[in-house]
């Protein structure tokens, strides 16, 4: 069973330069829930995710994780979350297995399955000892997705996880997301495509200059 968590954003507003990206943005998320952030290009979807992850400060509003403000303390938040962004965060000079092993080790959390098993499941069987530099864009994406299977995190924060995946890969990812939600995990993701999970999906639409 996943540990319980709650993430609440209240009246969040964010400016980039002097342009208002969004304001009065409210959401809440707890175990078993999925939140899809929608909006046009430039509406601030990635910025909202980066804000939740602590790489941008909101100009207004509150952000609480398990009743503590994320603006003050993030140690617990970092332990329980896994963020996959546009930049993959894998080194092209390391092999697939080395990249994954590093993240398991640095996170210090328990490992959910064997690296080879996870690599198999994301469809990269046989590529374990290949340098990431030799992989295609979609395969690199799959390497990062293998982290979802390996690391113990309750809350997944995914920025456009379906990009560069083929149809089979997209199908697999939807199933994986569904299983995670059913097991009590939380998911925040941005995506332009319609997602079908077996669990209900909350949605949050960002529009220029307000919600």
DSSP string, 3-61: PP-EEEEEEEEEEETTEEEEEEEEEEEETT-EEEEEE-TTSSHHHHHHHHHTSS--SEE
Kind of pairing, strands 6-16 and 19-30?
A: antiparallel
Residue with Cβ nearer another protein (99 or 195): 99
| 11: contact with another protein by CB under 8 A | no
Q: Is 180 left (phi over 0), alpha (psi -120 to 50) or beta?
A: alpha
| 106: contact with another protein by CB under 8 A | yes
Tell me the two tokens of residue 209: 């200059």
Binding mask 13-52 for another protein (x = CB under 8 A): -------------------------------------x--
State the Cα–Cα distance between residues 150 and 114, nearest whole angstrom: 7
Which span (59-67, 85-93, 115-123, 189-197) binds another protein, by CB under 8 A?
85-93
Binding mask 52-71 for another protein (x = CB under 8 A): -xxxxx--------------
**Considering the complex, what minimum distance in angstroms separates the CB of residue 199 from another protein?**
25
Which of 98, 120, 128, 152 is close enough to bind another protein by CB under 8 A?
98
State the Cα–Cα distance between residues 23 and 113, nearest whole angstrom: 41
Tell me the two tokens of residue 159: 């920025």
* Total interface residues for another protein by CB under 8 A: 30
Judged by the rule CB under 8 A, the positions of this chain that interact with another protein are: 50, 53-57, 74-75, 78-79, 81-83, 85-94, 98, 102-103, 105-108
């Amino acid at each position: 069973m996943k540990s319980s968590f709650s993430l609440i954003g209240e009246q969040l507003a964010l400016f980039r330069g002097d342009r208002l990206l969004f304001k009065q943005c409210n959401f809440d998320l707890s175990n078993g829930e999925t939140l899809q952030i929608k909006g046009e290009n430039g509406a601030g979807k990635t910025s909202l995710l980066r804000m939740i992850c602590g790489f941008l400060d909101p100009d207004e509003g509150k952000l609480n994780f398990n009743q503590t403000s994320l603006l003050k303390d993030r140690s617990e938040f970092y332990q329980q979350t896994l963020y996959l962004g546009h930049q993959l965060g894998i080194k092209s000079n390391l092999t697939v297995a080395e990249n994954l092993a590093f993240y398991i080790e640095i996170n210090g959390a328990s490992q959910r399955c064997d690296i080879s098993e996870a690599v198999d499941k994301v469809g990269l069987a046989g590529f374990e000892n290949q340098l990431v530099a030799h992989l295609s864009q979609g395969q690199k994406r799959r390497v990062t997705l293998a982290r979802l299977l390996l690391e113990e995190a309750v809350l997944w924060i995914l920025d456009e996880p379906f990009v560069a995946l083929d149809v089979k890969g997209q199908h697999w990812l939807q199933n994986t997301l569904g299983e995670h939600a059913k097991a009590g995990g939380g998911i925040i993701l941005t995506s332009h495509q319609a997602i079908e999970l077996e669990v209900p999906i909350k949605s949050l639409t960002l529009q220029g200059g307000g919600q």
